[in-house]
Amino acid sequence: MARSTNKGKRVGAGRLVKHFCMTPGHEDREAFYTLNVRLRRPDTSSVWAPSTGAYICDECALSGGKLEIIYTPALSRRGQATVRTETRGSLRGNTGEAEIREMEIAGE
C-alpha cells in the first residue's frame, strides 16, 4: 500500500512539516531532495512534469544512485491523457513502500 507524503505540505502560517527519506533503513532521516520527472519538447518547454512525492536524505542524494524508468503510454477511461508515477527506494535487497501519484495532462 502507498504511504502518504502529506508530511511536506504547508500546514498554516508558513510552517512546513518534515519529509522523510524513501530509502529502506533511512525512513527516519529528514529529506530535502525530491525526485521529479519532466517530459520536454524540442524547444525545452515542458509537456508534463509531475512531482513524484519521493524524497531523499542528504546521504542518499549525494552518494548517487540508480534510477530505473519504465514508460508505458496510457489513457484514462475518460480518454484524458494521464501521467502516473510510482516510486520506491531500495537498499541492500530491501524495498520501501511505493508512493503513487497520477495527474491529468492539460491539452495543447
pLDDT in tens, 33-68: 988 888 899 999 988 888 788 899 999 999 988 877
Side chain identity at 16, as an amino acid letter? L
pLDDT at 7: 46
Q: Are 55 and 34 in contact (CB under 8 A)?
A: yes
Q: Note the pLDDT tens digit of each residue in 4-38.
A: 444 444 444 554 778 999 888 999 999 999 888 88
Domain boundaries, the chain: 6-103
Average pLDDT, the chain: 76
> Is the pLDDT assigned to residue 95 strictly greater than 50?
yes
Local structure of 6: helix, strand or coil = helix
Find all residues with CB under 8 Å of 108, minimum gap 6, and list them: none
The residue type of 53 is: G
